[in-house]
Amino acid sequence: MKYISTRGHAGQPQNPEFCDILLGGLAPDGGLYLPESYPQVTRAELDGWRGLSYADLAFAILSKFITDIPPSDLEAICRKTYTAEVYCHARAGDERAEITPVHWLEKGADGRGRFGLLELSNGPTLAFKDMAMQLLGNLFEYVLAKRGETINILGATSGDTGSAAEYAMRGKHGVRVFMLSPHGKMSAFQRAQMYSLQDDNIFNIAVTGMFDDAQDIVKAVSNDHAFKAKHRIGAVNSINWARVAAQIVYYFKGYFAATQSNDEQVAFCVPSGNFGNICAGHIARRMGLPVAKLILATNENDVLDEFFRTGVYRPRKAAETHVTSSPSMDISKASNFERFVFDLVGRDPERVAALWAEVDAGRSFDLSGTPEFARIAEFGFVSGASSHADRLATIRKVYEQYGVMVDTHTADGVKVAWERIGEVPTGVPVLVLETALPVKFAETIREALGRDPERPADLEGIERLPQRVEVMAPEVDTIKRFIAERV
């Protein structure tokens, strides 16, 4: 499988394969990598995959995108990644081996599931980002060892991404992680998750500023090409193709869990920020998975909902971004959205380059009235937005009606799924992707329910563990010096 850039120039080597793009971020032309075509899944394959374990399903699907790792090695990596020991936080004990079990909220008279949660947050950091990041950790270690290279990952986080990256990369040979977080701005639980890691290859840096200050430092360091090359600086942000590829797997797994035969369809509702998660759902659908609808849910930061309703993509200014109680969806522009638009405009890289010339200049684009936007229904997308009041009401309703606590992001999904359910064909089950567990966002759970969220037993008292973090001013030179002294 060869990879191309959404803007037409994938750089050197001429036709990169998976391992060539694994460690990088953007393509050299500023675009995003995608496979040159989406592999098509035959009916016979779908039938054969229905009974597979998560690890074996991951191997079957990823083999179509990763053709430059020997199959036996890729299989070993999938089996090492997707184990019940790593994904151990499912609420019903015997569902552990499923990795991503479905938790039905509504069943029909026939006993079949109608409306449920696809549990994606049973990994070490209790958010769906573990699903892809754990695989990335093992792929990085494998490819670096093969090539005799090392990498120093620099990132900025407001919570979920940083902890998922650290738990994926801890103890991995050839990898160091330098993670910047805004000092005093994350929840006590999120701080404890990250800062209690004692691994030698993990460095937590709390900058005395906001998340944007941390992000600006990462950008400044990445733009210093000499420093970046000398110290082998890399990233694991949400545009990384391997993360999207890994996420395709659970759409198939969820589909099999919700259906009895491959003649049936499923609808997925996805709480969205950077469009990474739902992009994987879009690709699964393009591969031939019978997905009736992809319901996209945003919070008050409704850039994507606006696009699907109107055809206008209007990235917001940083100052216009709302700080909400589903903070992992607080985005001003959706970094993976370019991958979808590439498909929407018939995979025309010149068109995408022209549209993103507008975006990169801080402007918007308008596809309403174009033949492409007229075809948007073919892509199966439906969208909606949610507010803080909606989240509180949804968390309460799900708890009262079903006895299940959902996190704030999942609540945005449930709210929008209920609202748009009329657009899902009758009898098609709806799965809302559970993107985090409630304990990560305890304050809002207390506001909604007047009680503390449930907490997995192995995470009792993590706030009392010793923490390892350096507090620093948000100065590029200070951070560069810190990195240079340790690599």
Known catalytic residues are 129
How near is the Cβ of 336 to ligand PLP at its closest, in Å?
Answer: 7
The DSSP line for 138-189 is HHHHHHHHHHT--EEEEEE-SSHHHHHHHHHHTT-TTEEEEEEEETTTS-HH
Q: For residue 153, give every residue at least 6 positions away whose Cβ sits within 8 Å of its Cβ, in sequence order, or none.
A: 165, 169, 175, 176, 177, 178, 233, 234, 235, 236
Phi, psi of 40 (to 5 degrees): -95, 135
Note whether 274 binds ligand PLP by CB under 6 A: yes
Among 60, 417, 430, which Cα is nearest to 264's?
Answer: 430
Note whether 436 binds ligand PLP by CB under 6 A: yes
Note whether 315 binds ligand PLP by CB under 6 A: no
How near is the Cβ of 477 to ligand PLP at its closest, in Å?
Answer: 30
Note whether 305 binds ligand PLP by CB under 6 A: no
Binding residues with ligand PLP: total (CB under 6 A): 16
Instruction: Give 75 or 119: the residue with its C-beta nearer to ligand PLP.
Output: 119
How near is the Cβ of 459 to ligand PLP at its closest, in Å?
Answer: 16
How near is the Cβ of 455 to ligand PLP at its closest, in Å?
Answer: 16
Instruction: Give 158 or 201: the residue with its C-beta nearer to ligand PLP.
Output: 158
3-state helix, strand, coil in the chain (%, to 5): 45, 15, 40
How near is the Cβ of 244 to ligand PLP at its closest, in Å?
Answer: 9
| Residues from 243 through 272 that contact ligand PLP (CB under 6 A) | 271-272
Structure tokens at 314: 């209007």
Which residue sits closest to ligand PLP, CB atoms considered?
276
Instruction: Give 142 or 241: the residue with its C-beta nearer to ligand PLP.
Output: 241
Residue 362's identity, in one-letter code, is G
| Residues from 149 through 178 that contact ligand PLP (CB under 6 A) | 160
Note whether 328 binds ligand PLP by CB under 6 A: yes
Determine the number of helices (DSSP H) and then strands (DSSP E) in the chain: 19, 15
How near is the Cβ of 12 to ligand PLP at its closest, in Å?
Answer: 29
Q: For residue 358, give every residue at least 6 positions away whose Cβ sits within 8 Å of its Cβ, in sequence order, or none.
A: 364, 365
| Residues from 20 through 39 that contact ligand PLP (CB under 6 A) | none
Q: Which of 269, 329, 416, 445 binds ligand PLP (CB under 6 A)?
A: 329
Note whether 300 binds ligand PLP by CB under 6 A: no
Q: Which of 129, 253, 285, 420 binds ligand PLP (CB under 6 A)?
A: 129
CA 472 to chain centroid: 28
Instruction: Give 20 or 407: the residue with its C-beta nearer to ligand PLP.
Output: 407
Q: For residue 26, give every residue at least 6 positions away whose Cβ sits within 8 Å of its Cβ, in sequence order, or none.
A: 32, 239
C-alpha to C-alpha distance for 443 and 324, rounded to whole angstroms: 12
Listed ranges 73-81, 275-283, 357-365, 479-487: which one lies at the site for ligand PLP (CB under 6 A): 275-283
Instruction: Give 406 or 472: the residue with its C-beta nearer to ligand PLP.
Output: 406
Phi, psi of 312 (to 5 degrees): -100, 125
Note whether 125 binds ligand PLP by CB under 6 A: no
CA 146 to chain centroid: 27
Q: Which of 174, 254, 276, 384 binds ligand PLP (CB under 6 A)?
A: 276
| Residues from 438 through 457 that contact ligand PLP (CB under 6 A) | none
| Residues from 360 through 419 that contact ligand PLP (CB under 6 A) | 409
Q: Are 251 and 284 a contacting pair, CB within 8 Å?
A: yes
Note whether 277 binds ligand PLP by CB under 6 A: yes
Q: Which of 435, 445, 448, 479 binds ligand PLP (CB under 6 A)?
A: 435
CA 299 to chain centroid: 16
Instruction: Give 124 or 174: the residue with its C-beta nearer to ligand PLP.
Output: 124
C-alpha to C-alpha distance for 330 and 274, rounded to whole angstroms: 9
C-alpha to C-alpha distance for 437 and 407, rounded to whole angstroms: 5
Instruction: Give 141 or 305: the residue with its C-beta nearer to ligand PLP.
Output: 305
C-alpha to C-alpha distance for 312 and 368, rounded to whole angstroms: 7
Distances (CA, A) of 222 to 161, 218, 276: 18, 6, 22
Q: Which of 113, 137, 254, 273 binds ligand PLP (CB under 6 A)?
A: 273
Note whether 127 binds ligand PLP by CB under 6 A: yes
Instruction: Give 116 or 474: the residue with its C-beta nearer to ligand PLP.
Output: 116
How near is the Cβ of 226 to ligand PLP at its closest, in Å?
Answer: 31
Among 406, 430, 427, which Cα is nearest to 418's?
Answer: 430
Interface residue list for ligand PLP (CB under 6 A): 127, 129, 160, 238, 271-277, 328-329, 409, 435-436
